[in-house]
Chains A and B, each alone.
Chain A
Amino acid sequence: MGYKILSKTKLSENLYEIVVEAPYVVKNAKAGQFIILRVEERGERIPLTIADINKDKNELTIVFMAVGHTTKKLASIEVGEEILDLVGPLGVPTHIKNYGTVICVAGGYGAAPAYLIAKAYKDAGNKVYMIIGARTENLIFWEDKMKTACDELFITTDDGSKGRKGFVTEQLKDIINSEKVDLVMAIGPIPMMKAIADLTKSDNIHTIASMNPIMVDGTGMCGSCRLTVDGKVKFACVDGPDFDAHKVDFNEIIQRGQIYKDAEKTANHKCNLEKQADSLPEVNQRK
């Protein structure tokens, strides 16, 4: 009774695209929303952005980097097998209207959700530029697909192996300097979104960042994903994930993202918890 994997494509090392059958997710899903999944009975809940949807076929596409415990498990599931739990669409859809000229800037595997968002902006009549950045050529994916979602696609790589050598911010700066831009949409690693926000602030260009803090339930009931926007506490899962990038406290988000990394490093703490866990009765072991 899980969620069947219909296809799985390795986009590059550790980077996967999977298509899942998820009727309740795709029915009302819009660009900018996310899902939360749990691979197996003892699994954790992790958020992943909706990369593409096919409403006629009830198909959901997600792209992820197999780097942690859960994403590695996810990558090991074969076509025809199932993911135990998958819920969505979550979060507020990206606000789409005709702004004029929009630049979508995406970095790393965070580039996947930019496809639907850019497409939605384009469908709303905007002139859409896309800038996709990655460390190296191998990590650039969906190039042809991305081209269909925008008027012009720019690619940057840190090592210059594909497209322009350097960071997305340099490409962004060039476009901003050459024409009037009405909106910048940033999706990707926090430091990248922070750099984009810093860059556009001086030119006073309205900039949206799609935030990705730690989440548990994704429905607003715990506040794990809270962040400060314009001095106020917001829950990214229900108030976002999109926020005015010039008002987000990025340093706080970076700090909050460290919480469990620190716990993993503190071996002592982990040992204590394990000792504790071993002494606990298995009250509700499922068969």
Chain B
Amino acid sequence: MAKEKIERQIPITLDPEYRSANFEEVEKNFTDEQALNEAKRCINCKNPKCVAGCPVNINIPGFIQEIAKENLDAAGKLVRETNLLPSVCGRVCPQERQCEGSCVLGIKDKPVAIGALERYVGDKTDSSSLQITSNGQKVAIIGSGCAGISAAADLAKSGYQVTVFEALHALGGVLRYGIPEFRLPRTALDREINSLKQIGVEFKTNVIIGKSLTIQDLFSDGFEAIFVCSGAGLPKMLNISGENLNGVYSANEFLTRVNLMRANRSEYPTPIRGGRKVAVVGGGNTAMDAARTAKRIGFDEVTIVYRRSEAELPARKAEIEHAKEEGVNFLLLHSPIDITGYEGYVSGMQLQVMELGEPDASGRRKPIPTDKTVNIEVDTVIVALGTNPNPIIQKSALEEGLSLDVNAKGYIIINPETGLTSIPGVFAGGDVAPVGESNAINAMGAGKKAAKAINEYLEKQKTLSHINN
């Protein structure tokens, strides 16, 4: 028992002053020595809670033991058995609420840095050695975000001929247009998408299902099953006066202009309107991303405006810390009630001071308005209040007489076990049909679940047609 205690390893992180003026990745990968030390901290539990905490149930102690034994390739294979995007998930999962939140070491000490280790393995190994035999059956996937690429990976591994249809000109969904490069370098994203292309997944950009092609068209083209994972891309707005003034952006628009269109670079023609003082409304990852991006494109003063207190901020802990280090201000317990303008442009915002009441349905304490208001001076407002499902496919299905059941908010209703919708052969998952918290790994979990269900469904169809013949 005289074993020397190893402290949780901390990845090298760029200096806040340096990094807040560029888009370089903030947190570096573990060094080999750090990874080895961190791997040795894992006590290889018999009944690992961390695995249950992971939405795709990665064999966490398994791959960590391989790192500890310096068998990196074996670690890579183990991770990729359940997750083909370790470089992405290791970086963007809210581990404190998932695997690391369940790690037993966390009870008395700090949990094992599972995310950083997963990323280490993802960045250091690849999946090129997969051998696949095609079964000739076609499956269509609608959307190339987290759910789509994980389903594509699993279906391709099972031998299906997979085509992913993407409405935008670039692949990855939120990973491409939402999450900034300082959190997820595009090299990591491109590498993982390329590994899917290598195992035979076909990607078709600039095809918007529901407009370019309909669900019926896909069935006519010989696709035997369809997985709808078009996400929830429709931004929620504040619905207060002044919201259409120039200088009010949805976080989606702001981030798309910078991440996808590179509006911050002079050699790209897409414009963005900069300013001096920006308020970002919301407290999730998108709000943090928008605030930190605003810092990087030259806003002097960036303030997160959130209606609850710090304890309820839904963003990943690491991102909140990084934002603070970079000088992002937090104006907590304030809620916007009016955006004021001058000659059509934003000049300020009126906020209502809030206080916390009893916990609400989400388990978080509910913000209650007080009668106090304050005014802040801003020239830009970024609204990051979450999103609603994009209704294009739902509407199109309805128009062609398919009864695709959706709930009152427009989310597709699915069997939570299989992802099956009310249309035979059509499955859905991820943010368009959410189960639980909306994030990358849950969407990936939904993709995996659907892939499994699609495989079972098509196997059953095959058996049925054999019987009928």
Chain A residue with minimal CB distance to B214? Answer: A28
State whether A252 touches B213 (Cβ < 8 A): no
Is the CB–CB distance between A24 and B213 below 8 Å? yes
**What are the interface flags for A4-43 relative to B under an 8 Å C-beta threshold, 1 for contact and 0 otherwise?**
0000000000000000000011011000010000100011
- Determine, out of A98-106, A118-126, A181-189, A218-226, the stretch whose residues face the partner at the interface: A218-226
- Tell yes or no: A176 within 8 A of B by CB: no
**Is A219's CB under 8 angstroms from B256's CB?**
no
Nearest B residue (CB) for A274:
B266
Answer whether A87 and B208 are a contact pair too, CB < 8 Å, given A233-B244, A280-B265. yes
Residues of B within 8 A of A280 (CB): 22-23, 264-265
> Does any Cβ of B come within 8 Å of A88's Cβ?
yes
A70, A85, A222, A284, most chain B CB atoms within 10 A: A222
Q: A44-B269, A87-B169 are in contact. Are A221 and B234 (CB under 8 A)?
A: yes
Task: Say if the beta carbon of A278 comes within 8 Å of chain B.
Answer: yes
Chain B residues 204 to 249 lying within 8 A of chain A, measured CB to CB, are 205-208, 211-214, 217, 233-235, 237, 239, 243-244, 246-247
- Say yes or no: A88-B181 contact (C-beta < 8 A), given A44-B268, A233-B237, A259-B273: no
CB <8 Å contact, B250 and A222: yes
Q: Mark B165-188, 1 if CB is under 8 A from A, else 0.
A: 001110000000100010001110
CB proximity of A243 to chain B, nearest CB, Å:
14
B437 within 8 A of A: no
Q: How far is it, in angstroms, between the C-alpha of A200 and the C-alpha of B239 when the chains are bound?
A: 30
Q: Does A273 count as interface, using CB distance less than 8 angstroms?
A: yes
Q: Is the C-beta of B257 less than 8 angstroms from some C-beta in chain A? A: yes
* Chain A nearest CB, measured from B384 CB (Å): 12
B22 and A221 within 8 A (CB)? no
A90 on interface, CB distance cutoff 8 Å: yes
Given contacts A25-B212, A280-B265, contact A221 B246 (CB under 8 A): no
Smallest Cβ-Cβ distance to B211: which chain A residue: A89
Contacts known (A222-B256, A252-B244, A284-B190); A260 close to B271, Cβ less than 8 A: yes
Q: Say yes or no: A278 contacts B266, CB within 8 Å.
A: yes
- Answer whether residue A272 sits at the interface, using C-beta atoms and an 8 A cutoff: yes
0/1 string, B410-439, CB within 8 A of A gives 1: 000000000000000000000000000000
Interface residues on A, range: 35 or more
Question: With the chains together, A264 CA to B272 CA distance in Å?
Answer: 10
Q: How far is the CB of B400 from chain A (nearest CB, A)?
A: 10
Contact A87 B391 (CB under 8 A): no
Inter-chain CA distance A56–B92, complex, in Å, is 46
A177 at the interface (CB under 8 A from B): no
Query: Is chain B's interface secondary structure helix, strand, loop, or mixed overall?
Result: loop
| Distance A280 CA – B213 CA, assembled complex (angstroms) | 39
Known: A25-B212, A259-B273. A44 touches B261 (CB 8 A): yes
Question: Interface readout for A232-261 with B: 1 if CB under 8 Å, 0 if not?
Answer: 010100100000000000001001101110
Minimal beta-carbon separation of A151 from chain B (angstroms): 30
Chain A residue nearest to B273 (CB atoms) is A263
Contact string, A72-87, partner B, CB cutoff 8 A, digits 1/0? 0000000000001111
Instruction: Flag if B298 contacts A273 (CB, 8 Å).
Output: yes
B52 at interface, CB cutoff 8 A: no
Bound complex: CA A196 to CA B390 (Å): 33
Q: Tell me the smallest distance from the CB of B289 to a CB of chain A, in Å.
A: 15
Residues of chain A with a CB closer than 8 A to B268's CB: 42, 44
Q: Which chain A positions have C-beta within 8 A of B181?
A: 283-284
**B266: which of A216, A220, A269, A277 is its contact (CB, 8 Å)?**
A277
Contacts of A235 on B, CB cut-off 8 Å? Answer: 234
Nearest chain A CB to B270's CB is how many angstroms away? 4
CB-contact partner of A27 in B217, B261, B267, under 8 A: B217
Interface residues of chain A: helix, strand, loop or mixed (majority): mixed
**Distance, CA A268 to CA B303, complexed state (A):** 23
Tell me which of B22, B187, B206, B391 has the highest count of chain A C-beta atoms within 10 A of its own C-beta.
Answer: B206
A87-B212 CB under 8 A given contacts A226-B244, A272-B298 = yes
Contact: A220 with B264, CB < 8 Å? no
Q: Is B318 an interface residue (CB 8 A)?
A: no
Structural contact, B391 and A233, CB atoms closer than 8 A: no
Which of A219, A224, A272 has a CB less than 8 Å from the CB of B274?
A272
Beta-carbon contact of A45 and B274 below 8 Å: no
B237, B239, B253, B387: the one within 8 Å of A216 (CB): B253
Is there a chain B Cβ closer than 8 Å to A144's Cβ?
no
For the complex, is B252 an interface residue (Cβ under 8 Å from A)? yes
A222 touches B185 (CB 8 A): no
* B235 partner, pick from A45, A221, A279, beta carbons under 8 A: A221
Can you list, as one digit per residue, whether each of B114-157 has a CB less than 8 Å from chain A (1) or not (0)?
A: 00000000000000000000000000000000000000000000
Taking CB atoms, residues of chain B closer than 8 Å to A54 are: none
- Closest B residue to A222 by beta carbon equals B253
CB interface residues, B 360-405, toward A, < 8 Å: 387, 390-392
- The reply to whether the CB of A228 lies closer than 8 angstroms to some CB of chain B is yes
Binding site for B on A (CB under 8 A): 24-25, 27-28, 33, 38, 42-45, 69-70, 84-90, 216-217, 219-224, 226-228, 233, 235, 238, 252, 255-256, 258-260, 262-264, 269, 272-274, 276-281, 283-284
Given A25-B212, A219-B390, 11 other A-B residues pairs in contact with their CB atoms under 8 A: A24-B206, A24-B212, A42-B262, A44-B271, A216-B270, A221-B177, A221-B234, A221-B387, A222-B235, A226-B244, A279-B21
B positions within 8 Å CB-CB of A = 21-24, 167-169, 177, 181, 185-187, 190, 205-208, 211-214, 217, 233-235, 237, 239, 243-244, 246-247, 250, 252-253, 256-257, 261-262, 264-274, 296-298, 344-345, 387, 390-392
A-B contact pairs, 18 of them (CB 8 A): A38-B169, A42-B268, A85-B205, A88-B211, A90-B208, A217-B256, A219-B208, A256-B246, A260-B273, A262-B345, A263-B271, A263-B274, A264-B271, A269-B273, A273-B272, A276-B264, A279-B22, A280-B23
